[in-house]
Chain A
Amino acid sequence: MQERDALLDEQRTDELVELIESGGEGISRRALLTGDGGVAGAALVTAAATPLASLGPRLASVHKTPWQRGVRLVDDQGQPYPADQIQIGSFYTALPEGADPDSLGAPLLVVRLPASEIHLAPARVGWAPAGILVYSKICPHAGCAISLYRYPTYAPTSTATPAFTCPCHYSTFAPGEGGRLIFGPAGRSLPQLPLMIDGQGYLRAAGPFHEDVGPSWFNVHRAQS
């Protein structure tokens, strides 16, 4: 058995407070306030500069994308995608020809749907030649690559519609409806890329993304709804 210390000793505590206070004698309150206040004010202004900067004109896109009119879609071996190879019921990963495949703006999902499954907004009607639709592969929720594709092959047993699903937090998007979110936590649709088929039958971007790609940030631009 052992006894505990009382810990609190009033006299020692008072002596300590006195010792600390005595060190401050000779410094006038006004000098302290002006000196400290000046330093603190200057530091605060410096610290505020960064957030103030971000409140100004909108920053250039956080995730740059190499996609613009004419960039060809290739697979991970660098081979271009002929449009007639894209099968209904499968999904393909496409990368930009001659650009860094690892930037968040680069990877795409490619699927083909029958005309009955495609319900695009009027402004996007020309984006899906031959029923081929192309989307950013990076989930706008938390930046994972979307790698699950649900395509109901047997209509009588499945009422589910086609869907892309991200394996990280299960955000689910409708490929036939411009990437509209149908389940999960993502706050915006999956960005769609306008597509064209060139003279040799290969897939090419028909223009840039019309919204920001990659995980969202403050002030991120989402699609026109």
Chain B
Amino acid sequence: MKLVGRYLHRRLARLARWNEQRMGAATGIRWMLRYVFPDHWSFLLGEIALYSFVVLVVTGIFLTLYYIPSDSQVIYHGSYVLLQGEQMSEAYRSVLNLSFDVPAGLLFRQVHHWAADVFIASIVLHLCRVFFTGAYRKPRDLNYYIGLTMLMLAILEGFAGYSLVDDLLSGMGLAIAYSVALSIPLLGAQLGYLVWGGPFPGSSSFLPRLEIVHVLLIPAALATLITLHVASIMRQHHSQFPGPGRREQNVVGTPMWPAYALRSIGLLFAVAAVLFLVGGLIQINPIWQWGPYHTYLSENGAQPDWYIGWLIGALRLMPNFEPAIGNYTIIPNPLWGGVLFPLVVFGVLFAWPSLERRITHDQRRHDLLDRPRDRPTRTAIGAAFLSWVVIVFAVGSTDRLFFRLHISYTAQIHFWRVGIWVLPIMIFFVTRSACRSLQASGSHPLRNWQGTLIRHRPDGQLQPIADGPEETGAKSSEPPVGTLPGHETTGL
């Protein structure tokens, strides 16, 4: 049975002719349908980010239909009994109404929130894949910069999103953001006044500004950059891991039509299904519990969304260093953790491709990916740098460890003020020697492990079969990967 029968064939031919007479695009479409995708699971991380973005746009449009960006004070009379009679901003009331009184409103808000967390998580994992396999090298360095820009925008977008709600938690986050803006030497106070329309908590124009940033400016920038990102991939074709038949000059994999297109549409539906399932079943950001924001109130043990955790951690870990002349502060403390730390992290990431080129003198084009073990120094630097950021991120939740496990908060901070420098150095050396020994032994500890076969004995006991898994033809569909000739295995 053919997928395209005779009736469909006539319709399709008419459609193609119709399009051809107007656009003359047959060659281009043909090129698209023959486009080859290399097969590797890690290539799906970027697609998950893309499809989370689709879910974010769809659910976000729904939310904008109900959200009111207004700070005028109103009295709540909605269905949530515990807040009835409470004075709050119209913005917060509109989100409460969305959550309790709009059909499917809570579902859409929770899916939106979960999708944002998944969106940024998949971008970060995608970035790790790109870094550790050397996919950022020429000619993809340009696309790597686009990706990093999208990550920065996505973090800003997420922060703007949960700040719109104007509950106690989002107000506290904005107070910190305002303080970070104020900490910039010379211009900080002017910048803070400019963005907030006056001293914190700002004028009535602040929430509408934040809404435009969240629903128009950043999403439009992201959509543009996504288009550039994908167009640039298609122009250069995907990178691929080395293997039999795979050269720098070719791409081996699955063509767009019929295989990859259907598979990718399947992934879109799967991502949407999982996000709606999670959004429907697992509560996230129960804004009614925090209550309305006032500058004189705060929530104890508050935690931001995960992608802000590294900034909270940096602000908490920083000692109280604040240079001053006489009784006048020159550099307020939040500058270190809130401005310089993210600048260093993104600065290193942006500088890396050209830095590596300068060190290795490798100006060639690379379309074959590296296996992390084959570049021990790069992998070790990446692991150390990643651990440096992850430690700062983890420090953001030291108060939770104190509440749960009663480990002294001050002791944890004092420990990590040293550990933040010691541990990454240790990780550097451990990773580098692990890479080198894997390289020397050529073993694949994470591949082809099929578990242990067990037998259910008549007496009810479970007995492992000593021989281990039987060798079958379907051991691995992946071709063996080796180091190609001329493929340096030392240095970066």
Contacts and interface: CB of A to CB of B under 8 A. Distances in A.
Interface in A188-225: 188, 211, 214-225
B184 interface: yes
B175 interface: yes
A1 B252 contact: yes
Interface string A143-169: 111111000000000000000001111
Interface string A63-102: 1100000000000100000000000000001010000011
B328 A221 contact: yes
B301 A167 contact: yes
A216 B322 CA distance: 10
Nearest to B251: A2
A107 B182 CA distance: 20
A220 B186 CA distance: 11
B180 A187 contact: no
B297 A148 contact: no
A50 B190 contact: yes
B327 A170 contact: no
Contact of A141 (B139, B297, B302, B334): B334
Contact of A216 (B250, B315, B332): B332
B262 interface: no
B296 A107 contact: yes
Contact of B199 (A1, A63, A220, A224): A63
Interface in B162-192: 172, 175-176, 178-180, 182-190, 192
Interface string A45-59: 000001100110001
Contacts of A185: 315-316, 318-320, 333-334, 337
Contact of B189 (A59, A95, A141): A59
B324 A222 contact: yes
Q: For this complex, into which size category does the number of interface residues on chain B fall?
A: 35 or more
A170 B296 contact: no
Contact of B298 (A146, A217, A223, A225): A146
A187 B299 CA distance: 22
Given A143-B200, A215-B332, A137 B296 contact: yes
A142 B175 CA distance: 7
Nearest to B338: A142
Contacts of B299: 147, 167
A30 interface: no
State the main secondary structure of chain A at its contact with B: loop
A223 B413 CA distance: 27
Interface string A1-41: 11111010000000000000000000000000000000000
B187 A51 contact: yes
A142 B318 CA distance: 13
Contact of A220 (B248, B295, B332): B332
A138 interface: yes
B245 interface: yes
Contacts of B300: 147-148, 167
Interface of B: 34-36, 139, 172, 175-176, 178-180, 182-190, 192-193, 199-201, 235-237, 245, 248-252, 294-302, 312, 315-316, 318-322, 324, 327-334, 337-338, 365, 367, 399, 409-410, 413
14 contacts: A5-B236, A54-B187, A76-B296, A102-B295, A138-B296, A145-B296, A183-B410, A185-B319, A215-B175, A216-B322, A217-B329, A218-B329, A222-B328, A225-B327
